[in-house]
Structure formats: structure tokens, C-alpha cells
Structure 1
Amino acid sequence: MGLYERWCESTKAKDKRKRYWTYVEKDGGRDEIRDGLAETIRSHYDRLERIAEDVDRLGYKVAAEILSEAMPQTAKGRSGDLGEILATELVEEEIGLRVPVRRLRYKDGRNMAMRGDDFIGAGYDVAGEKLWLLKGEAKSNKVLGKATVTSARKVLNRDNGRCTPDSLLFVANRLLESNDPGDNELGRSLRDEVGLKSLRADRIDHMLFTVSGNGPHASLKEDLDATGTNRDHYVVNIHVEDHQDFIAAMYQEAEDLGDD
């Protein structure tokens, strides 16, 4: 079972190419996923095998210090990062596209937000021939409101709805540095797309992903209703009532590597 299946109850509505998904925590769901989510958070900042090597060489306490240096220490920074992490996991679990680069590993500073698209999903069509992309914007707020939703949609629509060239090139180059031939192939496809811009709009999906303490604000559904039908649209809300406490607790769990 995946993270969301164990953690939340979901409601999913679809109207042609528009999908509206809402998630609410199950009773006991948080306890069910606590350890796994902590490990997932770690994996977005560093490779788990590298963390394990630090533990073997230096012990748990020093390894935890190294990991902590990569993680944001401000409430705002943690909120934004966790939004991107949860969005990435949802795309891979529920849609089946890869988010092939864990971009939080490449931040200029642990408390700084990264520029560019929040997350990019990538893969190929059913025949395995044509490139397919998903452009995503993630928002994490104690109280979600219309201004945040409007701002996120504006970002999704920029560059004529395409993934921004710098974001796409960043992902492409990381994949081309991989030792995996499949990564190299996808990286080459993405790099070609930066130059050719050959993908039609109907092969570049959009996702507006939100995590909030007040649940799905009415503006989310209004925003989805106002979108066009030339691509697949996903509008998602994860309702976590104690939003800020949840984030603080999960980062504390992620930074604690244990002592044995």
C-alpha cells in the first residue's frame, strides 16, 4: 500500500479532463505512515544509502547533524518543502509519472525556496513512444485562500503552460548524469524538448497541489471549473487540521536517526 492509501480517505471527482481530489486523514492514519513519511522526507534531501554510510562512519548523532544541515529550519521553509515532497509522492503513487529528480537535494541554501517549477512529472504514453509531462505547483498553508490559489494558477499558466525551460533543463541534465540508461533516455527527451518545444498542450498536464489546515477552500473548485479543456488538470487538497504542528513533528522525526 502506498503512502496516501494508508494515510488518508480520498474523494475523487472527474469531469472530462478535469480532476478534483481531496484527502482527509484517516483515524490512526498518521501513526500508520509516520516512520515511512519520515524516511521519505530524508530521501528528498539526500540518498538514503549515503545517510546510512554516514551512520556507519560517524555514528547516529553526527549523521543526524549532517542531514539536518540540508533541511530547512524555519517553519515557512519546512512548510514549502513538505508541500513539494507530498506532491511528488502523490504524482508517482496516483498518476504513474515519475518525478525523476529530487530537486530539494540541490538547494542553494536550506532555508531558501528554489526557483522554477515546483515539481515536474515525466514519462511516456501508453505505447512508450511519446513524451508526457506534468507541470506542478505546490502550496502549503495553515489557512488556504483565494489569493494563494490565484497565484498558483498564474505560475502554471506562464510560459504558455509549458514547463519553464530552466526547470526542464535542470531535470534533463541530472538524468543525463545518471548511470541508468533509462534515465539517460528520458533526460535526452527532456533536453530535446527544451529546444524543440514540440509537445502539444494535451501532453503537458497541470497539477495545483495544496496542503492546508482549513481543508479545500471554495476557490479551488472555482479555479478548476475556469480552466480549459486542452490538457489534463489535477486540483488536489490534503486537509491536515493541525497543519503547523504536523510539519514540525514530521521534521523532528525525520531528523532523528536514532541512537542504536
Structure 2
Amino acid sequence: MGLYNKWCDATKNKDKRKRYWTYVEKHGGRDDIRDDLAETIRSHYGRLELIAEDVKRLGYKVAAKILSESMPQTVKGRSGDLGEILATELVEEEIGLRVPVRRLRYKDGRNMAMRGDDFIGAGYDKAGEKLWLLKGEAKSNKSLGKSTVTSARKVLDRDNGRCTPDSLLFVANRLLESNDADDNALGRSLRDEVGLKSLRADRIDHMLFTISGNGPHASLKDDLDATGTNRDHYVVNIHVADHQDFIAAIYKKAEDLGDE
């Protein structure tokens, strides 16, 4: 069972190519996913096998310090990163596209936001032949409002709705560095797309992902209603009432590798 199935109750509405998904924590859901979410967060900052190697060589305390050095220490930084992490997991769990590069591993500084698209999903159509992309923008707010939603939509619409070339090249180049042949093939497809721009809008989905303390603001549905029908649109909200306390607690758990 995936992270979201254990953690939240979902309400999913669909109108043609527009999907409006809202999630509310189940009673006891947070307890059920606490350990898994902490490990997921760690995996977005470093490969789990490297963390395990640090533990083996240096012990839990030093390994935890190394891990902590890659994680943001500011409230804003952790909130933004967690939005991207949860969005990535949702895309892979609920949509079936890959988010093939954990880009938080490549930050210039742990408290700095990365430039470019927040997350890119990639894969192929049902026949396994034609490239399919998802361009995503993630927002994490104690109180979500219209200005944040409007700003996120503006980012999704820039570059004629395409993934920005620098973001797509970043993902492509990381995949081409892999030793996996499937990664290489996908990376080549992405790199080719940067030059050819051959994908039609109907094969570049958009997702506006939000996690907030006040739940789904009315502007989210208004925003979705105003979008076109030339691509699949996903507008998502995760309602976590104690938004900031939740983030602080889950990062504390992620940084704690234990002692056994």
C-alpha cells in the first residue's frame, strides 16, 4: 500500500481532462506513515545505500550529522522541499509517471530554493512509444490563498506550457549519466525534446500541487475551471491542519537515524 493510501482519505473529481484531488489525513494515518515518510524524505536528499554506508563506517551519530548537512534548516526551506517531495511521491503513486531525478540532491545550498520547474514527470504512452511529460509546481503554505495559486499557474503557463529547457536538460543529463539502459533511453528522449520541441500540448500534463493548513482554498477550483482542455490538468491539495508543526516533527524524525 502506497504512502497516500495509508495516510489520507482522497476525494477525486474529474471533468474531461481536468482532475481536482483533495486529501485529508485519516485518523491514525500520520502514525502509520511516519517511519516511511521519514525514510522517503532522506531518499530525496541522498541515496539510502550511501546513508547506510555512512552508518556502517562512521556510526549513527556521524551519519545523521552528514545527512542533516544536506537538509534545509529554515522553516521556509523545509516547507518548500517537503512540497516537492510529497508532489513527487504523488505523481509516481497515483499517476504512474516517473519523476526520474531527485533534484534536491543537487541543491547549491541546503537552505536555497532550486530554480526551474519544481518537478517533472516522464514516461511513455500506453503503447510505450511516445514520450509523455508532466510539468509540476508545488506550494506548501500554512495558509494557502489566491495569490499563491495565481503565481503557481503563471509558472506552469510560461514557456508555452512546456517544461523549461534548463529543467528538462538537467533531468536528461542526470539520466544519461546512469548505468541503466532504460534511464539512458529516457534521458536521450528528453534531451532530444529540448532541441526538437516536438511534443504537442496534449502530451505535456500540468499539476498544481499544494499542501496547506487551511485546506483547499476556493481559488484552487476556480483556477482549474479556468484552464484549457488541450492537456491533462491536476490540481491537488493535501490538508494538514498543523502544517508547520507537522513539517518540524517529520524533519526531526528524518534527521534521526536512531542508534540500532
The alignment status of 1:170 with 2:150, answered yes or no, reads no
Once residues 69 and 182 of structure 2 are traced to their aligned partners in structure 1, the CA distance between those partners, rounded to angstroms, is 32
Which SS does the other structure have where 1:132 is aligned?
strand
Q: Partner residue of 2:253?
A: 253
1:128 CA displacement: 0.2
Identity %: 89
Give 2:20's aligned amino acid.
Y
1:27-61 deviations in Å (ceiling 9; x for gaps): 00000000000000000000000000000000000
Alignment pair present for 1:210 and 2:210: yes
- Give secondary structure in 2 for the equivalent of 1:70: coil
Give the TM-score, by structure 1 length.
1.00
The CA deviation at 1:21 is 0.0
1:240 aligned partner = 240
Over residues 120-147 of structure 1, what are the superposed CA-to-partner deviations in whole Å (9 max), with x where a residue is unaligned? 0000000000000000000000000000
Q: Which residue is 2:103 aligned to?
A: 103
Q: Which amino acid aligns with 1:191?
A: R
Asked if 1:227 corresponds to 2:227, the answer is: yes
Q: Determine the C-alpha separation between the residues in 1 that align with 2:247 and 2:188.
A: 36
> Shift in Å at residue 190 of structure 1?
0.1
Aligned partner of 2:36 in structure 1 is 36
What's the CA shift for 1:259? 1.1
* Matched letter for residue 170 of structure 2: F
Residue 47 (structure 1) aligned with residue 36 (structure 2) = no
**Unpaired segments ≥5 residues, structure 2:** none
Q: What CA deviation, in whole Å up to 9, does each residue of 1:219-250 have, x standing for no partner?
A: 00000000000000000000000000000000
Q: Which residue of 2 aligns with 1:81?
A: 81
Partner secondary structure for residue 69 of structure 2: helix
- Which residue identity lines up with residue 242 of structure 2 in the other structure? D
Query: Counterpart in 1 of 2:126?
Result: 126
Distance (whole Å) between structure 1 residues aligned to residue 258 and residue 6 of structure 2: 24
Confirm or deny that 1:8 pairs with 2:8: yes
* 1:183 aligned residue: 183
CA displacement, residues 96-117 of structure 1 (integer Å, 9 cap, x when unaligned): 0000000000000000000000
**SS at 1:117's partner residue?**
coil
The alignment status of 1:25 with 2:39, answered yes or no, reads no
Cα separation, 2, equivalents of 1:96 and 1:136: 14
Quote the Cα distance in structure 1 between the aligned partners of 2:237 and 2:156. Answer: 17
Whole-Å separation in 1 of the counterparts to 2:14 and 2:56: 49
Structure 2-normalised TM-score?
A: 1.00
What's the counterpart of residue 94 of structure 2?
Answer: 94
The CA distance in 2 between the partners of 1:244 and 1:102, in whole Å, is 23
1:110 is paired with a residue whose SS is: coil
Structure 1 residues 180-229: Cα deviation after superposition (integer angstroms, max 9, x where no partner): 00000000000000000000000000000000000000000000000000
Does the residue aligned with 1:202 lie in a helix, a strand or coil?
helix
Looking at structure 2, the residues matched to 155 and 143 of structure 1 have their Cα atoms a distance apart, in angstroms, of 20
Give the match for residue 65 of structure 1: 65
**SS class of match (1:109):** coil
Partner of 1:238: helix, strand, or coil? strand
Partners of 2:248 and 2:193 in 1: how far apart? 39
Q: Match of 2:158, SS?
A: helix
Distance in 2, matches of 1:177 and 1:247, equals 33
Q: Which residue of 2 aligns with 1:138?
A: 138
CA–CA distance in structure 1, aligned partners of residues 121 and 250 of structure 2 = 25
Unaligned 5+ segments in structure 1 are none
Amino acid at match of 2:182: G
| Whole-angstrom distance in 2 between the partners of 1:56 and 1:126 | 43
Q: Aligned partners of 1:137 and 1:131: how far apart in 2? A: 20
Q: Distance in 1 between matches of 2:148 and 2:117?
A: 16
User: After TM superposition, what 4+ stretches of structure 1 lie above 2 angstroms from structure 2?
Assistant: none
